[in-house]
Structure 1
Amino acid sequence: MTKIVQFDQVGGAEVLTLRDIEVGEPGPGELRIRVDAIGLNRGEIMYREGAYLYRPVFPSTLGYEAAGAVEAIGEGVTGFAVGDLVGVVPAFLQTDYGTYGDHVILPAAAVVPRPASIGPVTAAAVWMAYLTAYGALVENGQVRPGDFVLITAASSSVGVAAIQTVRHLGAVAIATTRSAAKRQALLEAGADHVIVTDTEDLLSRVEQITGGQGVRLAFDPVAGPGVETLADAIAPGGSLVVYGALDPRPAPLPRARSFPALSTSTYTLFEVTTDPERLRRGVAFVNAGLSGGTLAPVVDRTFDLADIAEAHRYMESNAQIGKIVVTVAHDGREEPAS
């Protein structure tokens, strides 16, 4: 038997239930993983609420990220051995698989090797955030040294990963946050500049920082009517990349009837994780940054699996800077916190 988090209806964190179920054996193309740590993501909250890209099928599990070790190998799977340390990347639908449990079955295509030097908590904090930033900024955005990049809602795990990715590329990271209390933490995470939008005018600060030229790319998870303001901060020929919808209001197409030219696009992580060649490049990029120290996940707080509802509520409070991770104990032993 294994402990799995499931829910039977959409709603608040209280719908999450920790259940004992039979995990079974992996099928063709699958692995069974002993989970040591789970990374939480905003999309999982939206999925639980029924506001995500697709609707849950009940009873539903959830979760995109984890770190642990291979326990069993399904037919046709190569490149893994029992006991291998691994991480899980978001490359599946939560209606089919989930990572919220102490032993889970996952598609082998969503599992990547984890160096022994990277602990489970750190590994669980990596892939959603850093592959999201990689795909949007490196492959699609083609950010170059010296570019100005605006990162909104920058205290999220993806925001912190984007800051570090921009700095890794030799570009200039301009982070935004609504809270002045988060300014110093964002600077410590690597931001070159921080704009507190509750007290500072975004456009005036961007003009000041960039010498009037505007940013080459804005990376935004909020959407809504605010994209029009972001568009005014972007240099002619620059790009607005929207990768979320934290503001549920309709988002206009900025500059649709005016100049200068602006490239506007939406982006999802699955563009990278479902393409084996792009995923290979992304994993290599992130691992190189982790090894070199230019990419370093920030873990705000950890929770026990039994406290999964509390962990979701904490994420909903927007108090965190970086990643929230859930740890999983096995046989009374808890994995290291790094």
Structure 2
Amino acid sequence: MKAVLMTAAGSPEVLQVHAVPDPAIQGDSELLVRLHAAGVNPIDTKLRQRGTFYPDQMPAILGCDGAGVVEAVGSGVQQFQVGDAVYFCNGGLGGHPGNYAEYAIVDEKFAAHKPKSMSFAEAAAAPLVLITAWESLYDRGKLEAGRRVLIHAGAGGVGHVAIQLAKLAGASVCTTVSSPEKAEFVQHLGADRAILYSNSDPVKETLEWTKGEGVDLTFDTVGRMVLSQSFAATCIYGDVVTILAPDANTDWKTARDRNLRVSFELMLTPMLKGLTPAQQDQAKILQQCARLIDQGQLKIHLAHTFSLDEAAQAHRVLESGSMVGKIALVME
């Protein structure tokens, strides 16, 4: 099969297409999936830049997200059969091969039936951001109807899903964006207020929106100084959830003075730590999201598609920092 191999850490040019042996089912509960598309996420570019979590297992196939059709099943598979369309988040961290390839092996416990209303490219772009936003808002942030939420970078991959999930929960949503075009995009998704952070103070505007109290929950998808801003924009006894590691200049004093509950979200933890029950729970999230998608209540904005041969270009576009929505690689 064709696969994009990462031969060393470095620039996008380290991603090269090679012919590699087709993967084969080894376990009773495994699926052989002919991939139609693979999602491209910021974690892919970070691993390419700095090296994978398993540097002794090179070359690596990146790509956590995949969507395709089941071509063969292990003897113990119960939920899927040959011909089923599936989507999933599995592999791609440098150990288990990822989805920048024509075929993948995935345990049935970590897969879900693809939303019928989605193309394979849209479905492949969905799993990581769906799980991240769902766990951040519902599991970490304990989001309930009537709460006020600030979502940073609402036009991004995770952000644009988070806006929709927050509105589905009955929350009011304020979000930060970098341009009037992105403001229009997030308002179309249901955001109640869009803050152009390039020419205004997000903290001041959020406090104005909440009559000086601050939001009940802030979701930080940016990190660095934005985490400190999140503390200042959140009400006393409120919640802040971040998907980034704090830097040395983080304003922890404000978080403590406001008695905030600060949570970290890394949806890759179950995969990195081998937590099978947690990965099964994530597959259940994908099942629930598939129903919402097919009911027209949730959508993924797919901004760009590239072929496997164009994986390096896909990384360049993602790293440009101007993305709205998601990117996917589409197999020939």
TM over 0.5: yes
Contact 2:63 2:91 survives alignment (8 Å)? no
State the Cα deviation string for residues 213-249 of structure 1 (Å, max 9, x = none).
211111112222432221010001111111124xx84
* Cα distance in 1 between the residues matched to 2:91 and 2:3: 19
2:265 aligns to what? 267
State the Cα deviation string for residues 9-60 of structure 1 (Å, max 9, x = none).
1011110011111113211042211111111110011011116766573111
Contact 1:228 1:252 survives alignment (8 Å)? yes
1:334 aligns to what? none
Q: How much does 1:122 deviate?
A: 2.0
| Residue pairs, 1:1-338, within 5 angstroms | 2-28=1-27, 29-50=29-50, 55=55, 57-90=57-90, 93-245=93-245, 249-250=247-248, 252=250, 254-255=252-253, 258-270=256-268, 274=276, 275=278, 278-279=281-282, 281-329=284-332
* Cα distance in 2 between the residues matched to 1:130 and 1:144: 18
CA RMSD between the two structures: 2.3
Question: 3-state SS of the aligned residue for 1:255?
Answer: helix
* Cα distance in 2 between the residues matched to 1:115 and 1:301: 20
Question: 3-state SS of the aligned residue for 2:239?
Answer: strand
Q: 1:51 to 1:3 in 2, by over 3 A?
A: closer
Q: How much does 1:159 deviate?
A: 0.6
User: Which residue identity lines up with residue 297 of structure 2 in the other structure?
Assistant: T
User: Which residue identity lines up with residue 25 of structure 2 in the other structure?
Assistant: P
User: Which residue identity lines up with residue 33 of structure 2 in the other structure?
Assistant: I
Unaligned 5+ runs, structure 1: 330-338
Q: How much does 1:119 deviate?
A: 2.1
The normalised TM-score by structure 2 is: 0.90
State the Cα deviation string for residues 187-222 of structure 1 (Å, max 9, x = none).
223222111111011121101211222111111122
Contact 1:129 1:158 survives alignment (8 Å)? yes
1:332 aligns to what? none
Q: How much does 1:89 deviate?
A: 2.1
Q: How much does 1:92 deviate?
A: 7.1
Greater Cα shift, 226-235 or 262-271: 262-271
* Cα distance in 1 between the residues matched to 2:255 and 2:165: 33
1:336 aligns to what? none
* Cα distance in 2 between the residues matched to 1:263 and 1:307: 42
Q: How much does 1:305 deviate?
A: 1.6
* Cα distance in 2 between the residues matched to 1:45 and 1:304: 17
Question: 3-state SS of the aligned residue for 1:4?
Answer: strand
Q: How much does 1:118 deviate?
A: 2.7
The normalised TM-score by structure 1 is: 0.89
Q: 1:74 to 1:224 in 2, by over 3 A?
A: same
Question: 3-state SS of the aligned residue for 1:279?
Answer: helix
User: Which residue identity lines up with residue 255 of structure 1 in the other structure?
Assistant: K
* Cα distance in 2 between the residues matched to 1:59 and 1:81: 31
Contact 1:218 1:230 survives alignment (8 Å)? yes
Contact 1:90 1:128 survives alignment (8 Å)? no
* Cα distance in 1 between the residues matched to 2:143 and 2:198: 28
Q: Stretches of 4+ moved more than 4 A in 1?
A: 51-56, 271-274
Q: 1:257 to 1:188 in 2, by over 3 A?
A: closer
Tell me the percent identity: 29
User: Which residue identity lines up with residue 297 of structure 1 in the other structure?
Assistant: I
Unaligned 5+ runs, structure 2: none
Q: 1:39 to 1:280 in 2, by over 3 A?
A: closer
Q: 1:103 to 1:53 in 2, by over 3 A?
A: closer
